[in-house]
Structure 1
Amino acid sequence: MFVGHYAAAIAAKAVEPRAPLWAYALAAQLVDVGWGALIITGAERFSIDADLPGNALVLEHMPYTHSLPAAAAWSALGVLAVRLVLRLPWAAAAMVGAVVFSHWLLDFLVHRPDLALWFDGPKVGLGLWNYPVPEQAVEIGLIAVAASAWAWSRGRQGLGAAAAPVFVGFLVALQIIAMLLPADADPVGTGASAIGAFLAVTLAAAFADRPGRSGTG
């Protein structure tokens, strides 16, 4: 899952608007930001199997980012970071932490069994990656539902609703690009590209979150 993770960020913004959208967007992929850094260093490992249907990634070793206890730890880190750096209220900080943890839950839907229940424990995953068309439909569907809620929330606040479809369009474009690009077995290139994409979405979220005239975004 790639852009589907941002559905949690957008939905959280609709429910708890006191945290900035860029913080939610970064939180949604914080686990994968860590993964990108750790595959560059070799602490976590992956390979590519072009014969796999859908996503060609074989995620061999990622206990520090994608195990269940690691996801909980990253979530706690997210809560503390936004509480200390952004001075958010506890409720908003907790929502950011929930978005961080949503990454593991959404990965559980699509990953093949590569998500450890504890650091060296059994691995789980429902494997929706093996069914590319339904998997893409789930991702885009989640984004569409969350964006509708966010647009409604912005409209109620008099901020304008057009930011939601523009941001979603950007996410869909990124998803298409990611689907068309060949899988890269180089950990440095893959890690750097992943981190760059996540930071680009974070920047786009900051622009999308700006107030606009009601009805214009």
Structure 2
Amino acid sequence: MFLGHFGLGLATKPLQPRVSLGTFFLATQLADLLWPTLLLLGVERVQIRPGLMAASPLDFEYYPFSHSLLAEVVLGVVLGLAYGLIRRNWREALLVGLLVPSHWLLDLIMHRPDLPLYVGQSPKAGLGLWGNLPATLVLELGSLSAGLWVYLRHTRARNRTGRFALWGMIALLVLVYLGGALGPAPASVAALAWSAQVLWLIVALGYWIDANREPV
């Protein structure tokens, strides 16, 4: 899943309005933020196989450090503790920490059975919605739209930046997603890993946009 993680980040904003949207994006997408760098370092592995699934050509061979359920729970604890120690707000920290393993739960819907539970000889899970392109598009775009609707209902722009930057980010997300889902497969694993670093830009945009908006 791609857009759905950002949709969840947007929709979570009313639960703790003082937490930046960028932090919610960091939490919901932490697994995918780490994964490209682990690919480049050779720690995790993926193969590009066009036609493997209708909505994804990626054959995830080995990625337990970023995408196993146990790893994401541990990452959630680490991020939650770090947030709590820095911000001194443990209710906010709990929510931030819980969002990290939500990534695995949402990915469970999309992936074929390749999501490990833990590092090592783990059973693997996945419901395989990526095999159905129309259903994938409906779920991805629908979840982003629902999250945006919640975010718009509970925040308002302080200035033009808060208004237009938000819509610019949404347009960027949709274009990136549709390019990946409907366009040609990546030329190489390295090209995939480098292009996926754009996720850090989305996190930065989340902080910038949220600084120019306020709770209703």
What is the TM-score normalised by the length of structure 1? 0.87
Q: Assess if the C-alpha contact under 8 Å between 2:22 and 2:207 holds in 1.
A: yes
Partner residue, 1:173: 175
The RMSD of aligned alpha carbons is: 2.4
Q: Does 1:151 align with 2:132?
A: no
Q: Assess if the C-alpha contact under 8 Å between 2:68 and 2:118 holds in 1.
A: yes
Q: What is the Cα deviation at residue 114 of structure 1?
A: 0.5
Deviation digits for residues 20-53 of structure 1 (CA, Å, limit 9, x no counterpart) = 1111112221111221111111111110111222
Q: Distance in 2 between matches of 1:13 and 1:5?
A: 13
Supply the AA of the counterpart residue of 2:82.
Answer: A
Q: What is the Cα deviation at residue 212 of structure 1?
A: 4.7
Determine which structure has the larger strand proportion and give its number.
Answer: 2
Partner residue, 1:48: 48
Q: Assess if the C-alpha contact under 8 Å between 2:36 and 2:193 holds in 1.
A: yes
Any residues of structure 2 matched to 1:1-217 within 5 Å, and which? 1-52=1-52, 53-85=54-86, 87-119=87-119, 120-155=121-156, 162=163, 165-184=167-186, 186-195=188-197, 197-212=198-213
Q: Assess if the C-alpha contact under 8 Å between 1:144 and 1:168 holds in 2.
A: no
Q: Give the secondary-structure state (helix, strand or coil) at the position aligned to 2:56.
A: coil
Classify 1:188/1:206 alpha carbon distance in 2 versus 1 (closer, same or farther; 3 Å): same
Q: Which consecutive unaligned segments of at least 5 residues does structure 1 have? A: none
Q: Distance in 1 between matches of 2:195 and 2:122?
A: 30
Q: Assess if the C-alpha contact under 8 Å between 2:155 and 2:214 holds in 1.
A: no
Q: Distance in 1 between matches of 2:214 and 2:191?
A: 41
Q: Give the secondary-structure state (helix, strand or coil) at the position aligned to 1:56.
A: strand
More displaced stretch, 122-131 vs 140-149: 140-149
More displaced stretch, 108-117 vs 76-85: 76-85
What is the TM-score normalised by the length of structure 2? 0.87
Q: Assess if the C-alpha contact under 8 Å between 1:47 and 1:59 holds in 2.
A: yes
More displaced stretch, 48-57 vs 121-130: 48-57
Counting matched residue pairs gives: 211
Q: What is the Cα deviation at residue 159 of structure 1?
A: 5.2
Percent identity reads 32
Q: Distance in 2 between matches of 1:175 and 1:184?
A: 13
Q: Which consecutive unaligned segments of at least 5 residues does structure 2 have? A: none
Deviation digits for residues 86-118 of structure 1 (CA, Å, limit 9, x no counterpart) = x15111111111221111011000011001122
Q: Assess if the C-alpha contact under 8 Å between 2:84 and 2:90 holds in 1.
A: yes
Q: Assess if the C-alpha contact under 8 Å between 1:151 and 1:162 holds in 2.
A: no
Q: Distance in 1 between matches of 2:171 and 2:108?
A: 25
Q: Assess if the C-alpha contact under 8 Å between 1:112 and 1:128 holds in 2.
A: yes
